Amino acid sequence: MKIIFALCLLIVIVYCAPIVDEQLNDSWTLFKRVYKKGYASNDEESVRRIIWEKNLAKIRKHNLEADIGLHKYRMGMNHFGDLVCFFLDF
C-alpha cells in the first residue's frame, strides 16, 4: 500500500510544477484548518498543496463559466480538495 501511495505521489510530483501561488497561503491554511488536514511530511504537504491549487483553479474556472450561463450549477471546495482522482479501467 505504501508503495502504491509513493508511486502515485511520484506521478503527481512529476506531473505538477512544484511552484505554489504565495497569494493562496491564507486560503490553504484555512482549508487545512476547516477540514482538519495534517500531512506526514513537508513533501507530502507540498504535493497536496499543488493538487489543491489545481482543483481550486478548476472550481474557479467552472464558476466563472457558470456565471455566464455555460453551466447550470456552481462548484465549491470540500474535504477532497487536496486529492487526485485516478480513474482505472477495469
Q: Is residue 31 assigned to a domain?
A: yes
Please give the residue range of the domain that contains residue 18.
Answer: 2-67
So what's the pLDDT on residue 33?
98
Q: Is residue 48 assigned to a domain?
A: yes
pLDDT tens for the chain, 90 residues long, are 778 877 777 777 666 555 889 999 999 999 999 999 999 999 999 999 999 999 999 999 999 999 999 999 999 999 999 998 764 444
Q: Count how many domains the chain has.
A: 1
Q: Is the pTM of this model over 0.85?
A: no
Q: Is residue 81 assigned to a domain?
A: no
Q: Is residue 89 assigned to a domain?
A: no
Q: Is residue 63 assigned to a domain?
A: yes
Q: Is residue 54 assigned to a domain?
A: yes
Collect all residues with Cβ–Cβ distance below 8 Å to 54 and sequence separation of at least 6: 16
